Amino acid sequence: MGRGYGPKRVDQELRKKGIGDALIREVVRETFDPVGEREKAKSLLEKRFKNKQLSDPKMLRRAAGFLERRGYSSQVIFDLLKHAAADD
């Protein structure tokens, strides 16, 4: 989980390892509250796209795809990128 994975990706990885649904839900709930998920995604975005112009549509798509592959929710991605593009 130190790779910056979001709740969807953590859920997927644990399922592949044969972990039960109840335990997965508990782990994801304890690890990712709504604020924590957003902060982790923001930190990852800042690290990966540090000197990039997120106002550029191509870079915005890349950032969204990156966070989506990491398992972050579409709502978190939308909120972060909306603010990031407005800041540029």
The neighbour count for residue 48, using CB atoms within 10 Å, is: 14
The CA distance from 23 to 19, in Å, is 7
The CA distance from 32 to 78, in Å, is 17
* 22-63 confidence digits (pLDDT tens): 999 998 888 888 778 888 899 999 999 988 888 889 999 999
Query: What residue spans define the domains of the chain?
Result: 7-87
Residue 8 corresponds to which tokens in the numbers above? Answer: 């969807």
**CB 87 within 8 Å of CB 61:** no
In this prediction, residues 11-16 reach a mean pLDDT of 94
Average pLDDT, the chain: 88
Question: What's the one-letter identity of residue 4?
Answer: G
Residue 36's Cα: distance from chain center in Å? 10
Residue 18's Cα: distance from chain center in Å? 23
Residue 85 corresponds to which tokens in the numbers above? Answer: 């593009």
Rg (CA), the chain: 14
